[in-house]
Amino acid sequence: MKIVFNDASVKESLYPFGVIQPVSAIRVGILTIKEKWQLITGSTVLDSPLSSLDIEDSKTRKHDVHIGSNIILSKNGWQRLRSSFEDGGLDMSNIEDIKILEYPWQIFQFNDWAIRQDYDLLTTGSLSQAISPTNTIISPENIFIEGGAKVEYCTINASTGPVYIGKNAEVMEGCFIRGPFALCEGAVLKMGTKIYGATTIGPHCMAGGEIKNSVLMGYCNKAHDGYLGDSVIGEWCNLGAGTSNSNVKNTASTVKMWDNKTKNYVPVGLKAGLIMGDYSRAAINTSFNTGTTAGICCNIFGDGFPPKLISDFTWGKERYTFEKVLQDIDNWKKLKNQSITNEEITILRTLYNQ
């Protein structure tokens, strides 16, 4: 049996995520949506539309299960859904232990729940690397350190939620961490970083300053002082030194954020910070208003506060030239020993021309 994701119905409402990558690549908790489904179900998981290599004869394809890629699965949730999957369908009448992701701000709103679910999934039956005695630890039973990780001279309080340190990650000296928290593979916390739950630092990210209830998807940097709270940062983003966001209005009233589906601002709760799409960057000392949305491929700089809605391919107050977009992305990728691919160029060109 194959599980085939379809994100057509939610791409617009999850903007700026699901634009360059499929919705299933969104990271909530420790894992992406797709990684959760693969690990929990043991099935082949594909993103629709299928490539020619994935298309089989109709006799086989009729056993595939087609679902929305915005369903965030947990181990307990799978036990409730399994029988309907085996019958080739999907019974969502009982959705306990499952989250349905409809808006980008729900990524940080669901992150506490998701870290706890993924922590249980990844660590049950596994043995943590020993915790160095140089660290000050509260509730060590709730801490799991993968092989190759370095954690020295830090304070970790896991009484408020589990703490997961991924393979080859590093927590530099002087960091303060309160769970739930996930530092994914190859990611780095710089010296003196202050982490409040529920926060996820995705693979190969670099994080510093003060971070609370936020998700950094992967390969991005918030490497210096500044506050990031109740926020979601896409892949290959960079927040310059001193950049901060507001997550609570001065009036302590409800925050509204841009809903790309209705093309309107909608209430999202009392706390909401910055939502930033893939390949976007902010200059040093940028100050983001409460409930700001930045699109993909933005270079954000200039006097005063940036607007609460920053369009795709924005360069200051102008429009990025396409060749400059590609060059700048490639420059940032080279810093992490990668380069822009032909597939990415094709996707970005299509989006730019739209």
Residue 51: per-residue pLDDT: 39
Contact call for residues 219 and 264 (beta carbons, < 8 A): no
Instruction: Output the pLDDT for position 3.
Output: 87
Q: For helices 75-86 and 33-41, give the axis angle rounded to 10 degrees.
A: 70
* Residue 67: predicted pLDDT: 87
CATH 2.60.40 fits 117-353, yes or no: no
Question: What is the rounded distance in angstroms from the CA atom of residue 256 to the CA atom of residue 266?
Answer: 5
What's the pLDDT tens digit per position in 267-278?
999 999 999 999
What pLDDT shows up at residue 55?
40
Which residues of the chain fall short of a pLDDT of 50? Answer: 50-60
Q: For position 282, what pLDDT does the model report?
A: 98
Q: Is 217:202 a contact under the CB 8 Å cutoff?
A: yes
In three-state form (DSSP H/G/I as H, E/B as E, the rest C), the secondary structure along the chain is CEEEEECCCCCCCCCCCCCCCCHHHCECCCCEHHHHHHHHHCCEEEECCCCCCCCCCHHHHCCCEEEECCEECCHHHHHHHHHHHHCCCCCCCCCCCCEECCCCCHHHHCHHHHHHHHHHHHHCCCCCCCCCCCCEEECHHHEEECCCCEECCCEEECCCCCEEECCCCEECCCCEEECCEEECCCCEECCCCEEECCEEECCCCEECCEEECCEECCCCEECCCCEEECCEECCCCEECCCCEECCCCCCCCCEEEEECCCCEEEEEECCCCEEECCCCEECCCCEECCCEEECCCCEECCCCCCCCEECCCEECCEECCHHHHHHHHHHHHHCCCCCCCHHHHHHHHHHHHC
Q: Are 145 and 163 in contact (CB under 8 A)?
A: no
Q: What is the pLDDT of residue 59?
A: 40
Give the model's pLDDT for residue 8: 87
Q: List the chain domain ranges.
A: 2-102, 117-353
Determine the pLDDT at residue 66.
Answer: 84
Residue pLDDT, tens place only, 177-214: 999 999 999 999 999 999 998 999 999 999 999 999 99
Which among 292, 316, 308 is positioned nearest to 324, based on CA atoms? 316
Comparing CA positions, the residue from 305, 295, 303 lying closest to residue 244 is 305
Q: How are beta strands 194-196 and 292-294 bridged, if at all?
A: unpaired
